[in-house]
C-alpha cells in the first residue's frame, strides 16, 4: 500500500465515514495480525531504534 492510497483512505476519517480506530485497523492491525497468525515469530527479530 502506498502513502497515496493511505492518504486517500484517511479522507474517510476526515469525513467521519469511518473512525480513527477503523483506519488504524485497516492500515496496520489487520495486516500485522495476518502475518503473526501465519508466523508467530514474524516480528521477533525486528529491531527498533530509539531516539
Give the pLDDT score at 4: 85
* Model confidence at 49: pLDDT above 70: no
The mean predicted confidence, pLDDT, of the chain is: 86
Is residue 36 within 8 Å of residue 43, measured between CB atoms? yes
pLDDT per position as a tens digit, 16-35: 999 999 999 999 999 889 98
Q: For residues 30 and 49, give the distance between their C-alpha atoms in angstroms, rounded to a whole number.
A: 24
What is the reported pLDDT for 23? 94
Q: How far apart are the first and last CA of the chain?
A: 27
Whole-angstrom distance, CA of residue 41 vs CA of residue 51: 25
Amino acid at each position: 500500500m502506498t502513502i497515496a492510497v493511505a492518504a486517500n483512505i484517511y479522507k474517510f476519517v476526515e469525513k467521519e465515514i469511518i473512525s480513527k480506530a477503523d483506519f488504524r485497523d485497516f492500515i496496520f492491525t489487520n495486516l500485522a495480525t495476518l502475518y503473526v497468525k501465519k508466523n508467530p515469530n514474524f516480528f521477533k527479530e525486528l529491531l527498533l531504534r530509539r531516539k
